[in-house]
Amino acid sequence: MFEIQTLERKREYNQKTQNTMLAFLNTDGGTIYLGIADDGTVYGIDGNLDEMMRSISNSFRDSVMPDPTGYFKVEHEMREDKNIIVVTMERGSSVPYCYTSNGLVPRSVYVRVGSNTVMATHEHIRQMIKDNGTGQFLTELSVEQNLTFEYANKIFAEKDVKFGEGQKQTLGLIRTTDGRYTNLAYILSDQNSYTTKVAIFEGLSKAKFKDRKEFSGSIFKQIDEVHAYLHVFNRTRSTFEGVYRVDHPDYPGEGIRESLINAYIHRDYYIEGSVLVSMFDDRIEFMSVGGIMPGVTHDLMRLGVSITRNEKLAKVLHRLNIIEAYGTGIPRIYEAYENSSAEPEIPVIDGGFLIRIPNINYALPKENANGKSANDSSEQKLLDTFAGINFSKEDAADVLGLSVSGAYKLLQRMVERGILVTHKESRQLMYADSQNQVDIEIQTSDYFHGKFVGFIGRFDGGTMKLKDLVYAAGGAPMDNVAFFTDYVVVGKGAQDSQSYKNAKKKIDAGFTVELSESDLKSICSGKLPLPLPKPMPLQDIIVIPGREENHIDTEMWEEENFELKRSAFVRKYGVLQPDGSRDKRFRS
């Protein structure tokens, strides 16, 4: 005889039996027969059955949380004139259940996999919480239950607001069903692992750091410390009105404060990653993952219309008067600049929420006789000079008579407004007029599911856009060709490169498949079947952005942007949506 997923036979009751009871409770329920061997031989149970059955019930109930009462029963049966005990388990309604002594850690949570009882992994525990949740991260069960609130207690005390067990339940930090902490409690606790990374850059780009720091701990602590840190770099310029000196800070305090708090309220906590704050000579950018909520436009935000992703967190901050009312943050940011010619920006970023506030004291471009700013004529000059031609930031700097960093800033603004598109040629970022590009339809699929795709050479569609095709097709695009590369897309000038010569050995052996740009597009559109390489034994492989020597600091910061871009693509094109409802078009 053999065991199945919902049935076990045990000679006696021991710790392994209790683990199986917990596994049934966390999975699909099941039955345990005590006094019967694995092969079906009935040995029976000796001794006082009533006492033993009571002991099984009490020990399991006392050692598991939340309370499993009502989801199991212990009964007596006779088999072959011998006494046996039958333990019947149902799946609990508050999955995951765990041993009280250790909490929600793998050694304390068991599940059934086939006929085996196994410890759950961290990822499995998170998935159980998500599957049993409401789709609202902050209301779901926290994996970490050993939480302390030293900093939160200080904030509540300063605001003269009670913060006892009753208040924690009312605010949503403790679940009323089982008394366990939610994810809202987790991000407000001292154990919160979501961080904020702040970088102070020299100039207008991320080429050179002045300073950088990562902040951790309670959201309250991060808000206070990041705000104080930015204040140190918020320089003050002074002017004189008669005999009186008037101070003008680079950034209005209200603008910094509201932008920072907004980043925490509107971020998507399902996505791991830090809040990114970048200060340049002319602006501060506050970036959080998650994107603007569906149905909310820029105009609606300026009017104070708000759909809050994290309503529970907003209520806590409102209770403490950290925010005044729902939906007032964005209008207050703009109001902070009402006496300035500069204005905040909220550019549309797929998968991210970006607020850019300008440095009031930074020199603005002067207007010409036609009333147009220098940037307008500069933009047109670039479009006229490079009509139908790809160009670099150095080319733009030569034409406009600007520094390279100044040209780069102008080009990035043009990209954000959709005037230019970018792609890479070798390792050089190139720009082109978006009006001269060809549309390609993106449809999510699994054509390249789990496959690694490398790129060599130059491409008419642009390397970055072709990589987006691979993302949409479920693959992992790479800047290089490694031993585990399944496909390599070969562009112009690739045959003369050392990378191609190295890849050719694997191509000739059949372990890597060579594709052209048109091949890749045809596969991703379903017009061409996917050729399969010979299988190679692979270990666990992680693809990270390429590294450049002597640019470790910049590389560490850009890795965050790489992950943000990947999550933004998933959100934009719906790779994780099986109904395909998020298909989009983009300019190649």
Which helix (H) or strand (E) element contains residue 587?
Answer: strand 585-587
On the CB side of 527, CA atoms within 13 Å amount to 7
- For the cut 80, the answer to whether the pLDDT of residue 436 exceeds it is no
* pLDDT interval class at 160 (50, 70, 90): very high
* pLDDT interval class at 53 (50, 70, 90): very high
Secondary structure of residue 79 in the 3-state scheme: strand
Chain-wide mean pLDDT for the chain? 80
Nearest of 66, 64, 81 to residue 18 by alpha carbon: 64
CATH topology of domain 374-436: Arc Repressor Mutant, subunit A (1.10.10)
* pLDDT interval class at 491 (50, 70, 90): confident
What is the distance between the alpha carbons of residues 209 and 67, in angstroms, rounded to a whole number?
53
pLDDT for 558 equals 43
Give the chain's end-to-end CA distance (angstroms, integer). Answer: 61
CATH topology of domain 439-587: Rossmann fold (3.40.50)
- For residue 304, with 0-12 CB atoms within 10 Å meaning exposed, 13-18 middle and 19 or more buried, which class applies? middle
pLDDT for 376 equals 56
What is the distance between the alpha carbons of residues 383 and 109, in angstroms, rounded to a whole number?
61
Cβ neighbour number for residue 198 with a 10 Å cutoff:
24
Q: What is the pLDDT of residues 359-372, one digit of tens each?
A: 988 854 433 333 33
* Most confident range, picked from 243-257, 308-322, 495-509, 574-588: 308-322
* pLDDT interval class at 161 (50, 70, 90): very high
Per-residue CA distances from 588 to 332, 464, 480, 554 (Å): 38, 9, 21, 27
- Segments of 434-556 assigned E as strands: 439-441, 452-456, 476-478, 487-490, 513-515
pTM exceeds cut of 0.75: no
* Most confident range, picked from 102-116, 419-433, 557-571: 102-116
Rounded mean pLDDT, 419-445:
67
* pLDDT interval class at 557 (50, 70, 90): very low
CA dihedral 294, 315, 104, 94 (to 10 degrees): -80
Q: What is the pLDDT of residues 291-348, one digit of tens each?
A: 766 656 656 666 656 667 788 999 999 999 988 766 677 888 988 898 887 889 888 7
Alpha helices in 235-343 (DSSP H): 253-266, 298-302, 311-319, 329-335
- Chain-centre distance of CA 398, in angstroms? 39
Parallel/antiparallel/unpaired status of strands 82-89 and 30-34: antiparallel
What is the distance between the alpha carbons of residues 366 and 359, in angstroms, rounded to a whole number?
16
Architecture of domain 7-131: 2-Layer Sandwich (3.30)
pLDDT for 278 equals 95
Q: What is the pLDDT of residues 399-421, one digit of tens each?
A: 887 888 878 888 888 887 778 88
pLDDT for 577 equals 35
pLDDT for 134 equals 55
What is the distance between the alpha carbons of residues 73 and 52, in angstroms, rounded to a whole number?
13
* Most confident range, picked from 243-252, 453-462, 508-517: 508-517
| Annotated domain spans of the chain | 7-131, 196-236+248-345, 374-436, 439-587
Rounded mean pLDDT, 123-136:
73
What is the distance between the alpha carbons of residues 170 and 184, in angstroms, rounded to a whole number?
12
- For the cut 90, the answer to whether the pLDDT of residue 556 exceeds it is no
Q: What is the pLDDT of residues 416-429, one digit of tens each?
A: 777 888 877 666 78
* Most confident range, picked from 6-15, 383-392, 441-450: 6-15
- For the cut 90, the answer to whether the pLDDT of residue 33 exceeds it is yes
pLDDT for 304 equals 57
Sign of the alpha-carbon dihedral angle for 321, 322, 326, 332 = positive
CATH topology of domain 196-236+248-345: Heat Shock Protein 90 (3.30.565)
Task: Round the CA-based radius of gyration of the chain to a whole number and report it.
Answer: 30
